[in-house]
A and B are shown apart, each in its own frame.
Chain A
Amino acid sequence: MIRWLLPLLAFCALAALPALVSDYGLGLLIGAATYVTLASAWALFSGHTRYISLATVAFYGTGAYTVAVLNEALPYPLVLVAAALIGAALALVVGLSTLRLAGVYFVIFTFGLAELIRQLITWYEVNVTGTLGRYIFLDVTARGIYWQMLALGALTIGLTAWVQRARLGLALRVIGDDETVAAHSGVDLARTKLLAFTLSAVILTLAGAIVSPRWVYVEPSIVFNPTVSFLTVIMALLGGASRLWGPALGAVPLFLVFEWLASSFPDTYPIFLGLVFIATVSRCRKACWLASSVFDPVMAGGDSESSRSGGATMVFGGLRAVDEVTFALEPGEIAGLIGPTARARPHRLNLISGALVLDRRSDRARRRPALLAGAWTASPGWVWPARSSSSARCRP
């Protein structure tokens, strides 16, 4: 009960806050709410799957620019819907081309995405419409923006809470732990990743759309500022991207610190940011939750790439081959597995470990898929790594 009541009370208190603060304070509140939303939305996908997206500002800027283009043509709610649709379409393009592959392609693609969109819009505006820079005249007050952003932030955190309890969240977590295991457990890798990435991207786009009236004058080089992507990643990482409240808790203090830095040292502040970030990554153990086998195939070169895709088909062959084998392992017991070919054995071991991610102290199992104990029956259905119960559940 208290877990629901407390956030609700906090939300009401935050919603009442604009009445008490000055215009400058309201600006800070909007900024903080924006970064809480951005960091939470970023973590919704990247926190669990550990695919680092560096393209926050690509979506954020797209949202803002959509409002700038459409704000006189359509009523405000429709503009928001249009922004969300454009964000989703963009995410689908990025996701469909990279999320089927190893994570490093995704990182590279997102790394240049904001710059690409900025150049494309600039080119289009200069050559086709003949203007660079647009004005946003909307009848939205600063308070209105704050309330909308607060609602979007609350929605994001609520969505994250729901996803964490749902099948989707479990699937995302398994993908983050070990993609091979996830595939063996019957998770549709590409679809799951695509779904979460699109959700996260839609929220990022909406955040850009909501906050855009604050700018009044919008230009590609203003809305596609790479610092936004950078800040989002630092905030989520420092706060703990895999936790529900982590990104929000990281975003608020860091936003205030960065705001102060930006006003006190406008020139040198990116250098501070970079140094803080490097220190975070090298010192803070929290930052290294981002481990992943996602990156392995590319690092090992092309050959392993082909063995991986070859492996995926072998898995199903493997499934059939051990279809009728049921065996039990007691804790501490060591069993040997003898297989015919060198390639088949590790795959089969993966298979077994994948189905056996279960632990009574559920936290462990999620982090490290380990061969613990229990009986395993192969079935081509959904074999879920159990979270807190003591046996693997098979679903048809």
Chain B
Amino acid sequence: MLTTLILGLVLGGTYALLALGLTLQYGIARIMNLAYGELTLAAAFVLVALFNGLGVSPLLAIVAIAPTGYAVGWMLYAVMLRPLVQRSAARDRLAVDSILATFGLLFVIQGLLLVTFGANFTSISYLDRGVRLLGVPVALNRLIAFGICVVAVGALISLLSWTRWGLVLRAVALSPAAAPLVGIDVNRVARQGFALGTALAAVGGATIAMYQTFSATDGVVFTMKALVIVIMGGVGNVMGALIAGLALGLVETFVATAIDPGLTLAATFAIFLVVLLWRPQGLFGSRM
């Protein structure tokens, strides 16, 4: 029971991190990124390749992967999404265009991953030994992954709450129309928001690679879970996404241990259905 709780929290930490990245991209850059899970997986594969090929410690690899994710997000936004943003003055049209464009991107990245890394399930064994926590054995790699998530989420929240950059990001999220009036370059901030979201996706993917088995076609599942968490927590709501992410991790672990590991996506959808029918604006109310 306690094991399930701890494993659920660890999984939930990763989910919360992923959901935060998605909510940043959606809230600040107004891009609904359907290729999000594929970006996550790409980072996971890179970590595995670095570990197996060059023997780089995953902790060190994450330090490299996060800025790479930022750069990739920056490039994606500048090359692929910027023309869409420029074209659509009305942002509702941007939503549709971005959904379609990232749907295409999903297949591009998935294809690249399949060609480069193959379709097999992949995992690494890193620090795969148990430590006792509150009297229950937990694998050390999961604890480290959870630690990374806590650090990343903590850094993000303090960035958003206390720095000037965070203030600018929040201003654009709140009102992209009014932000230029106070001298904010919305285009630049949107690009930064998207890049930051991609960096979080990359860190999330790297932590997944540390303790989970995954394959190149799992991206849809990760995107779906992140999307459901974002909706459950309320769009643009950072605290909501955190709590909802932890909750989803717990529910999923309970379903996996108590019923069947094959039903985790069904559990996600069940939660999604309940949220849609009961509180479509999210469990935790309104705005960021």
Q: Which residues of A contact B (CB under 8 A)?
A: 50, 52, 54, 97-98, 101, 104-105, 107-109, 111-112, 115-116, 119-120, 122-123, 126-127, 226-227, 230, 233, 237, 267-271, 273-278, 280-282, 287-288, 290-296, 298-299, 301-303, 305-306
- Contact B103 A295, beta carbon cutoff 8 Å: no
19 extra interchain contacts, Cβ-Cβ under 8 A, other than A101-B276, A274-B111?
Answer: A50-B96, A111-B34, A111-B223, A112-B265, A115-B224, A115-B265, A119-B263, A267-B114, A268-B111, A270-B111, A273-B111, A274-B105, A277-B107, A281-B101, A282-B97, A293-B92, A302-B235, A302-B281, A303-B287
Within 8 A of A (CB), among B14-37: 30, 32, 34
Complex: chain A residue closest to B217, CB-CB? A226
- Contact A299 B91, beta carbon cutoff 8 Å: yes
Interface centre among A119, A271, A302 (most CB of B within 10 A): A302
Known A52-B99, A281-B97; contact A105-B231, beta-carbon cutoff 8 A = yes
Complex: chain A residue closest to B101, CB-CB? A281
Question: DSSP class of A's interface residues: helix, strand, loop or mixed?
Answer: helix
In the complex, which residues of chain B have a beta carbon less than 8 angstroms from the beta carbon of A101?
276, 280
Report Cα–Cα, A97/B279, bound state, in Å.
Answer: 12
Question: DSSP class of B's interface residues: helix, strand, loop or mixed?
Answer: helix
Q: Does B286 contact A (CB under 8 A)?
A: yes
Residue interface mask B265-280, A partner, CB < 8 A = 1: 1101100110011001
- Contact B224 A111, beta carbon cutoff 8 Å: yes
Q: How many A-B residue pairs have CB under 8 A?
A: 167
Q: Does B56 contact A (CB under 8 A)?
A: no
Residue interface mask B210-232, A partner, CB < 8 A = 1: 00000000001101100110010
Complex: chain B residue closest to A96, CB-CB? B277
Q: Pick the contact of A226: B30, B220, B231, B268 (CB < 8 A).
A: B220
In the complex, which residues of chain A have a beta carbon less than 8 angstroms from the beta carbon of B110?
270, 274
Report Cα–Cα, A391/B145, bound state, in Å.
Answer: 66
Pull 22 A–B residue pairs with CB atoms less than 8 Å apart, ordered by A. A52-B99, A98-B276, A104-B32, A105-B280, A107-B99, A108-B231, A111-B34, A112-B224, A112-B268, A115-B221, A119-B265, A123-B260, A123-B262, A123-B263, A127-B262, A271-B111, A273-B111, A278-B105, A282-B97, A292-B96, A301-B235, A303-B287
In the complex, which residues of chain A have a beta carbon less than 8 angstroms from the beta carbon of B90?
291
